[in-house]
Amino acid sequence: MINKLTLIIFFSFSHLFFGQKGARIGYIDMNMILENIDEYKIAKKLIDKKIVVWKKEIELQKIQLKKFQDELNAEKILLTPELISDRSIEINDFALGIINLQEKRFGPSGDLINQRLSLIKPIQDQVMTLVREIAIERKYDFIFDRSSDLIMLYSTKNYDISQLVLRKINIQERTKEKKKQIEERKKLIQERNKKKNN
């Protein structure tokens, strides 16, 4: 709601800031861009695999907790009140351990967030750098992300610079690959020269 209100106020008063010139506005679809980057797809698959492992780990702990609770319920009539109390404390500690494990894996500063930061954030940063470069090159005043919370009710395709960003990313990737191939060829030549000299 706040984003919508900010956007409405911005567009209402933008003519005051830009006078007769008019603001140049573009947008990107960050999700579409990321889904077309191989490095992002690989990082996402790695994270998805880890999520499956972590969920299974938590599910196994929950099954074990249920087993402990069922055993206590079945044996209650045979146990003294002190033993029941001790076992209940152990079960509560085990349940608390599950909650801590969920927090460790999926909490606000958990493993999932850290994995996303280490694997996906560098790719997002690369995209944002290219968006800034395009904005400066093409003299855009504003570039919005269509896939964010900002709601775009209508926009013409000529304001969408997502394909331009993707092309620049592909050029960078090809350049990296060529440099890598050149380095590998240099190493091979050096190794051959060493063998000839020996």
Q: Residue ranges per domain, the chain?
A: 23-188
* Contact indicator for 155, 26 with CB cutoff of 8 Å: no
Structure tokens at 60: 């196994």
* Contact indicator for 40, 120 with CB cutoff of 8 Å: yes
Place of tokens 């608390």: 96
Measured from the Cβ of residue 118, the count of other Cβ atoms closer than 10 Å reads 11
pLDDT at 21: 60
The number of CA neighbours under 13 Å toward the Cβ of 148 is 9
pLDDT at 163: 84
User: What are the CA-CA distances from residue 182 to residues 8, 39, 177, 179, 192 (Å)?
Assistant: 52, 21, 9, 5, 15
The angle subtended at Cα 170 by Cα 164 and Cα 175, nearest 5°, is: 130
Residues 6+ apart with CB under 8 A from 54: 105, 106, 111, 112
Residue 135 CA, distance from chain mean position: 24
**Number of residues that make up the chain:** 198
Task: List per-residue pLDDT tens for the chain, 198 residues long.
Answer: 555 545 455 555 454 444 446 777 888 888 888 888 888 999 999 999 999 999 999 999 999 999 999 999 999 999 899 999 999 999 999 999 999 999 999 999 999 999 988 988 888 888 888 888 888 888 888 888 877 765 554 555 667 788 888 888 888 888 888 998 899 888 888 888 887 776
Cα first-last separation, the chain: 74
This prediction has a pTM of 0.63
pLDDT at 149: 64
Rounded to whole angstroms, how far apart are CA atoms 99 and 58? 9
Structure tokens at 152: 């775009």
Structure tokens at 37: 């980057």
pLDDT at 18: 47
The angle subtended at Cα 32 by Cα 158 and Cα 149, nearest 5°, is: 85
